[in-house]
Chains A and B, each alone.
Chain A
């Protein structure tokens, strides 16, 4: 019984997760590459904006 319950929970979780991914794919206005394998532009997905603090970052200095 417990085993069946665990399996049901896992399958339901997977269904919700996959459903959400596909729903987001439809809804997302930009970056339709999100979730795509090997896609060089999909790494910008789900990050609102990359940021860098010039005041503190060591990369800031000229070489």
Chain B
């Protein structure tokens, strides 16, 4: 039998952990709400049953407010999975059962997975799963998704539910006033088959009373006359309740649902060994970590500590990687004869992609640190603490998580950050967040910053990264404020965040998270970045220098050699790396190298990329960027790491002394056009300019192409303005 099984539940209840345990998948799991914003699919086979497993975004209710809630409800209603596994957090049963009740009211075949039963026991909570199952009328199976405990029993129960006939929807009594209105509405709905092919009639009536926007809209589209009638009943009963009870139908419905849950739980389903008001370890830790005064200081210290850890421990392995690529470059240079193929492999591939791959150890340490913060539950506290700050800038507490995922702690990615904005209910706050989240320092910007920091700020690497993080946050918040005051005006909405308990990260979990992300980085360098590097190498090589110009340089060399003493020329021709040259031969070599450098520079400027870069120089010199940097920044539109690989290729093609293979950082320091001010200007530009191609597509998908285009134009204009300000102000001050 083939059937579909959906995983639904509150945010941070462990749906994705169970999904991974069932399907063998490695979907990202985090100890904070809202990790899954789209559905994920997998397969599980048991006893001849082929189950299509779908992991849905977490939701507290089936009343659609945010996009992720719409995704979850649309799937459950439109796709009608044969069974829905409702994952509930056993240590927060009352709140989690609120969604369960709604599943049952909708008549969804449900199987309750009582997750984190170990945490509940640790808190002195014992849940009688058999009694709960009897009272709800659906199987209830205790599980620990992290360890796999109870998985087999859960899937056996799923099979039983799949083979059983469909249940009648649960009826929760909502009191005389609302029940009268529901009965009246049901008559109208059943009489005209109004949306009854999709939902039970009672459920439609309840959604009308809850003012569910999506159902109201669907109703108006289906039959405006019936919809008007139902809305009139809703208004009447709403006015009556407000007058007599001073409340609203939505609040009354929620109260009655919680009343139903309490009546279930009070029948001996839960036994608590401790006082309910007792402070658990997580609460005690939070007394310090989210303290109004100490919290923000600790947060900054944690961030600084993370960067210190990353730069201290990655320094040696990064140096090993650099040396390995230098050795490879030397070896290939010595093996291949001069020509296009050698240039492609050495300058395009090794010096280009090698520059990106050289930072793999740094990226790995950074991801490890982020995984520790994420798995422990600390990131959720950061979001909680920053909510107040975000409100000032017209953003929402949920925007914090989008920022953090995008690279709020250097090393994230803007794409999941943009997708994480789905948790925002206000469209305007959402647009402001998804336009500014790419300002964060994603993992692709990290090698660029690491390169410039290593070259120009070698003695304060961690401090520099810390400062850059603060600059990106400040820039993003100010830009968000500007957008909220101009193009996306609107009031702020309140924010309530569930703080997950602190969990000690498991070694395996940390290793998996670190490996997955590092592998993504290395894989991209070896595929997309490699492809783009080859293309940019071609753009920096063709069209080649005209024969007449090549001949001019050749004649210059012949002229220099002819004026030199024959024995010096002979010595230079017979020179090897093991024997030092005489002073005269070394001087001759240097003179010839100057001619070679001139020719290499002329060839680069004559190439397609060189011409484009040079054309742009008239504008970009205001920010201190030369034509090589311009080429790299254009490449960065495709993917930010390309900036490093393009600079690597550009400076490699310009290198004429093949016996000296310096790292890119060393080459930049030696280049006359580069100084600390240039590095600052480039850092600011890279931090704020247009998001990469993939992010722009994602922004367009999550909003519209208008906003996708806006993000490119607005971000690049802002970045250029800031870079010019930094460079010109610095130059005026004599830096």
What is A's interface to B at a CB cutoff of 8 Å?
3-4, 6-7, 10-11, 14-15, 17-18, 21-22, 25-26, 30-44, 49-55, 57, 59-63
Contacts and interface: CB of A to CB of B under 8 A. Distances in A.
B641 A37 contact: yes
Given A50-B23, A51-B23, A22 B693 contact: yes
A54 B28 contact: no
Nearest first, the 8 closest Cβ-Cβ pairs linking A and B are A38-B443, A51-B43, A50-B25, A40-B28, A54-B46, A52-B24, A14-B534, A39-B413
A35 B523 CA distance: 9
A63 B150 CA distance: 8
Interface string B382-415: 0000000000000000000000000000011101
Nearest to B27: A44
Given A17-B531, A38-B413, A50-B23, 10 more contacts: A3-B340, A15-B531, A33-B415, A35-B524, A37-B444, A38-B443, A43-B27, A43-B28, A51-B23, A62-B149
Interface stretch (B163-171, B173-181, B457-465, B513-521): B513-521
B701 A59 contact: no
A36 B694 CA distance: 7
A21 B531 contact: yes
A25 B697 contact: yes
Contact of A11 (B151, B415, B534, B638): B534
Interface of B: 21-28, 38, 40-47, 52, 147-153, 155, 339-341, 344, 363, 367, 411-413, 415-416, 419, 442-444, 513, 516-517, 520-521, 524, 527-528, 530-532, 534-535, 538, 638-639, 641, 692-695, 697-698, 701
Contacts of B44: 51-54
Contacts of A22: 638, 693
A18 B532 contact: yes
A32 B304 CA distance: 32
A54 B701 CA distance: 36
A42 B520 contact: yes
Given A38-B521, A62-B151, A63-B149, A51 B42 contact: yes
A2 B93 CA distance: 72
Nearest to A54: B46
Given A51-B23, A54-B45, A43 B344 contact: no
Contact of B520 (A10, A25, A38, A54): A38
Given A36-B415, A37-B641, A38-B520, A52 B45 contact: yes
Contact of B24 (A21, A39, A59): A59
B40 A43 contact: no
A10 B44 CA distance: 42
Contact of A50 (B42, B444, B535): B42
Nearest to A48: B41
Given A33-B415, A37-B444, A50-B23, A55 B532 contact: no
A4 B41 contact: no
A52 B151 CA distance: 13
A54 B339 CA distance: 57
A32 B415 contact: yes
Contact of B694 (A15, A35, A40, A50): A35
B44, B149, B150, B692: most-surrounded residue (chain A CB, <10 A): B44
Contact of B155 (A4, A18, A54): A54
Nearest to A16: B531
A45 B153 CA distance: 31
B24 A36 contact: no
B47 A32 contact: no
A38 B419 CA distance: 15
Contacts of B153: 62
A39 to B, nearest CB: 4
Contact of A42 (B412, B415, B538): B415
13 contacts: A14-B530, A26-B697, A35-B694, A36-B444, A36-B524, A36-B695, A38-B520, A41-B419, A44-B27, A52-B44, A57-B24, A60-B46, A63-B149
Given A50-B43, A59-B24, A59-B148, A7 B697 contact: no
Contacts of A44: 25, 27, 40
Contact of A39 (B23, B340, B416, B535): B416
B524 A37 contact: yes
A10 B694 contact: no
A30 B530 CA distance: 25
Nearest to B153: A62
Given A32-B694, A38-B443, A52-B22, A3 B341 contact: yes
A49 B40 CA distance: 8
A41 to B, nearest CB: 5
B23, B340, B415, B513: most-surrounded residue (chain A CB, <10 A): B415
B46 A38 contact: no
Contacts of A14: 530-532, 534-535
A63 to B, nearest CB: 5
Contacts of A61: 148, 152
Given A32-B697, A36-B524, A37-B413, A52 B23 contact: yes
A10 B342 CA distance: 13
A54 B367 CA distance: 32
A42 B442 CA distance: 14
A36 B151 contact: no
A14, A33, A36: most-surrounded residue (chain B CB, <10 A): A36
Nearest to B524: A37
A18 B43 contact: no
A59 B45 contact: no
Nearest to B405: A40
B162 to A, nearest CB: 14
Nearest to A6: B341
Contacts of A3: 339-341
A3, A11, A61, A63: most-surrounded residue (chain B CB, <10 A): A11
Given A3-B339, A18-B532, A38 B698 contact: no
